[in-house]
Chains A and B, each alone.
Chain A
Amino acid sequence: MAADIANPSVSIQDLSLNFGAVSVLQTLNLDVAEGEFIVLLGPSGCGKSTLLNCIAGLLDISDGRIFIKGKNVTWEEPKDRGIGMVFQSYALYPQMTVEKNLSFGLRVAGVPKEEIAKRIARAAEILQIEPLLQRKPSALSGGQRQRVAIGRALVRDVDVFLFDEPLSNLDAKLRSELRVEIKLLHRRLQNTMIYVTHDQIEAMTLADRIAVMRGGVIQQLDAPQTIYNRPVNRFVAGFLGSPAMNFLKGELEAGAVPVFKADGVSVSLGRYQFDGDGGPAAKPCIFGIRPEHIAFGDAAQAMPFTAESTVEIVDPMGSDTLVWTKLGGQIISVRVEADKTLRNGDAIRIGFDPARASLFDAQTDNRL
């Protein structure tokens, strides 16, 4: 799992965390390169926030070691780890002005006044919060509050930024604005950033690498495109992508050209890239294809696999339309352009390239 990174900025080795009998994280390994933007992605309760709190030193771990900048910080206090943290609920001190909020950590550490002023000026300039410095957090909007919270991490002049679902409390519009700002911030500062989210769009757009987690275990750690195109198991495949990937149950038939067979459908897998070497054995499997990889109408004709079907339900989504139809007796969705006018019961032609599909073992859910 651990990638070979020569000088990792953050290195987590065999980390375990138990709350009583409940194991939250299990011998987890993760190396983060200098200046890398890592996103920890997963559903609620997968341990991603817990992992972040362990890195921050806010939770005592049960086993393993944590290195930041080559220094073993396993037993260090949060303030001595060289990290800054941004929380989902902003966690601004309500009785202090923005300026006092930003300077609190520095004042605690006894940094000289001129230095504090200098760092606040720099952070305020980067985040464009100069006009807000004398306000109390209660007089700020959600987006402004989160900017101040980022500023609080910024003034500490740290090596590693930790973000714990920082945009989850914002509305959709602000969320996409701040997402871009965080990306710009990363490009400007070139710091290592570890970012926890359950939002796959944030993960896809921000990350250099995504770590998809489930049940305290990292399922896949890779570049966003790789995770999107070649998910290692059915969980990762289903979690990433909206609308979700279609799954068809069926049988894999071995041969010179392996074939996927489901009720009345057979897909030749000659173009599919199997994991590992040697031909796959015949077994029950699940065929996954994303709605946006299924072509429709004339475009379908050019695809290696085509089929006739009828429209069951039409879901207009504005930018495009999701059409629900049947393939091999199982419901699948197809993404089509919004200008196509379709009605329930229309006969349509769909097609796809099996090279873009993902095949999973029905027993283990792992990619074939």
Chain B
Amino acid sequence: MADVASLSPGAEALRRGATGPSGPKPRHVLSRRNIFLYGTLIVVALYYLLPLYVMIVTSLKGMPEIRLGNIFSPPVEITFEPWVKAWATACTGLNCDGLSRGFWNSVRITVPSVILSIAIASVNGYALANWRFKGADTFFIILIVGAFIPYQVMIYPIVIILREIGIYGSLTGLVIVHSIFGMPILTLLFRNYFTSMPEELFRAARVDGAGFWGIYLRIMLPMSLPIFVVAIILQVTGIWNDFLFGVVYTRPDTYPMTVQLNNIVNSVQGVKEYNVNMAATILTGLVPLIVYFVSGKLFVRGIAAGAVKG
């Protein structure tokens, strides 16, 4: 052993117990890199949160306090009056029952639209991914091209179609419109998810004798919770936040919440009640906000799963 050690010049450094780096590399919390990174993050976060802060603070103030003009100061006297008014008694046009009417309209629009569009799109995606029927690719391309046509082009033709069918201005009409416009992106989402599933699973189910619906309902559906959550989030927020279709395809007594909010905020008669407007806006945005908070983790997981293969 001795002659081996003397042969190599670095032998001394290799000896056990010698000084030098050992174990995990030390990390400095206050390094320049960390300060820059977290500093930027904090500034950006404040920039985005400031408007929300102003909204919440203003909605809790009375009108005299707002007239002082200091929008950043916290409320001296907290009042929930504006919230109650925004929900129950604010006037839009002839109705003076607040946003509650619009809220229930939006629920009646969103729930059936989400269920209908996801039910159809998931079957579409499943058929496109697993049952490669003749012309499947052409069908898929047409569907995707549909996603790139601007909505504005289609508004008037759809008005005519709905009128001819006799459902123009009704909630049913709007539900159908939402379902159709959700189809391209949802079908793409589901198709990609089902394509990423092992094909042998599908083949095994066929050997086991399951048919089109059997495989879909008993094999594919139970395995695709993440992508359904993604689709539900996309559709709930998209349809809830929709303004254009709501204002075009409904009548004042069936206006969704967003349209009603616009009418409350933009009403020109009398004093501008900033606190009521802020409360109404927060109320309208609450549904998508809750959806994001509740399902954030599943959402990210599902998006990642659906995006792997195209």
A91 within 8 A of B: yes
Q: Does A33 contact B (CB under 8 A)?
A: no
B222 touches A (CB below 8 Å): yes
Q: Give the residue of A79, A90, A93 whose beta carbon is less than 8 angstroms from that of B209.
A: A79
> From residue 242 to 272 of chain B, which have CB atoms closer than 8 A to chain A?
none
Given the interface pairs A93-B201, A95-B223, the reply to whether A56 lies near B209 with Cβ below 8 Å is no
Q: In the bound complex, what is the Cα–Cα distance between A185 and B199 (angstroms)?
A: 27
* A79 close to B206 (CB less than 8 A): yes
Instruction: Return chain A residues, CB-CB under 8 Å to B294.
Output: none
CB of B44 closer than 8 Å to a CB of A: no
Contact present for A88 and B200 (CB under 8 Å): yes
Task: Name the CB-closest residue of A to B202.
Answer: A91
Given contacts A89-B198, A93-B201, contact A79 B223 (CB under 8 A): no
* Closest partner residue, chain B, to A158 (CB atom): B207
Assess the B207–A93 pair: CB atoms within 8 A. no
A305 at the interface (CB under 8 A from B): no
B86 CB, min distance to chain A CBs, angstroms: 45
Number of A residues, CB within 8 Å of B: 24
**A73 CB to nearest B CB, Å:** 13
The distance in angstroms between the C-alpha atoms of A104 and B201, with both chains bound, is 13
B residues less than 8 Å from A77 (CB atoms): 206, 209
A88 to B214, CA, bound (A): 23
The answer, among A53, A89, A94, A152, for a CB contact under 8 Å with B208, is A152
Tell me if B210 is interfacial: C-beta within 8 Å of chain A.
Answer: yes
Q: A231 near B: Cβ within 8 Å?
A: no
**Complex Cα spacing A77 to B207, Å:** 8
Chain B 164-205, CB within 8 Å of chain A: the 1/0 string?
A: 000000000000000000000000000000000010110111
Establish whether residues A105 and B209, one from each chain, have CB atoms under 8 Å apart when the complex forms: yes
Chain B hits for A84, CB < 8 A: 207
Which of B200, B204, B207, B214 sits near A83, CB closer than 8 Å?
B207
Contact yes or no, B207 A85, CB < 8 A: yes
Q: Is A317 an interface residue (CB 8 A)?
A: no
Q: Considering the complex, which residues of chain A in the window 286-318 have a beta carbon less than 8 Å from any beta carbon of chain B?
A: none
Contact check, B223 vs A108: say whether CB atoms are below 8 A apart: no
What total of chain B residues lie within 8 Å of the partner, measured CB to CB?
Answer: 16
Please tell me which one of the listed residues A56, A88, A92, A95 contacts residue B207 in the complex, with CB atoms under 8 A apart.
A56
Q: A91-B198, A93-B219, A95-B223 are in contact. Are A105 and B203 (CB under 8 A)?
A: no
Query: Distance in Å from the Cβ of A20 to the closest Cβ of chain B?
Result: 13
A89-B198, A105-B209, A108-B209 are contacts. A94–B204 as well, Cβ < 8 Å?
Answer: no
Known: A93-B219, A94-B223, A95-B222. A87 touches B210 (CB 8 A): no
Confirm or deny: A58 has a beta carbon within 8 angstroms of a beta carbon on chain B.
yes
Closest to A59 in B: B203
Residues of A within 8 A of B208 (CB): 79, 104-105, 108, 152, 156
Nearest Cβ distance between residue A3 and chain B, in whole angstroms? 27
The answer, yes or no, to whether A109 is at the interface (CB within 8 Å) is yes
Contacts of B207 on A, CB cut-off 8 Å? 56, 58, 78-79, 83-85, 105
Once bound together, how far apart are the Cα atoms of A104 and B205, in whole Å? 8
Q: Provided the pairs A94-B223, A152-B208 are in contact, do residues A87 and B214 lie with their beta carbons within 8 angstroms? A: no
In the complex, the answer to whether B209 meets A87 with C-beta atoms within 8 Å is no
Q: Tell me, in angstroms, the Cα distance from A134 to B203 when the chains sit together.
A: 24
CB < 8 Å: which of B200, B218, B219, B223 contacts A87? B200
Using Cβ atoms and an 8 Å threshold, which residues of chain A touch B214?
Answer: 108
Q: Which residue of B lies closest to A149 (CB)?
A: B204
Q: How far is the CA of A152 from the CA of B200 in the complex (A)?
A: 14
The answer to whether B210 touches A108 (Cβ under 8 A) is: yes
Query: In the docked arrangement, what's the CA distance between A105 and B211, Å?
Result: 11
Nearest CB in chain B: distance from A240 CB, A: 28
Contact B209 A91 (CB under 8 A): no
Given contacts A91-B198, A108-B209, contact A58 B203 (CB under 8 A): yes
Residues on the A chain within 8 Å of B222, using CB: 95
Contacts of B34-89 to chain A: CB distance below 8 A:
none
CA–CA, A356 and B55, complex, Å: 92
Determine how close the nearest CB of chain B comes to the CB of A197; give it in whole angstroms: 16
Q: What's the nearest-Cβ distance from chain B to residue A92, in Å?
A: 8
Interface positions of B from 5 to 37, Cβ below 8 Å from A: none
In the complex formed, the residue of A with least CB distance to B203 is A58
Task: Flag B200-242 by CB within 8 Å of A: 1 or 0 each.
Answer: 1101111111100010001100110000000000000000000
Residues of B within 8 A of A156 (CB): 208
Q: How near does chain A come to B18, taking the closest CB pair, in angstroms?
A: 38
Judging by beta carbons under 8 Å apart, are A85 and B203 in contact? Answer: yes
Q: Is the CB of B198 within 8 A of A58?
A: no
Shortest CB–CB separation between residue B211 and chain A, in angstroms?
Answer: 8
Across the interface, which residues of B come within 8 angstroms of A105, CB to CB?
207-210
Could you show 8 A-B contacts with beta carbons less than 8 Å apart? A56-B203, A79-B208, A79-B209, A83-B207, A84-B207, A85-B207, A87-B203, A108-B209
User: 19 additional contacts, CB 8 Å, given A79-B209, A93-B201?
Assistant: A56-B203, A58-B206, A78-B206, A78-B207, A79-B207, A84-B207, A85-B207, A90-B200, A91-B198, A91-B201, A91-B203, A91-B204, A93-B205, A93-B219, A95-B223, A104-B205, A105-B209, A108-B208, A108-B209
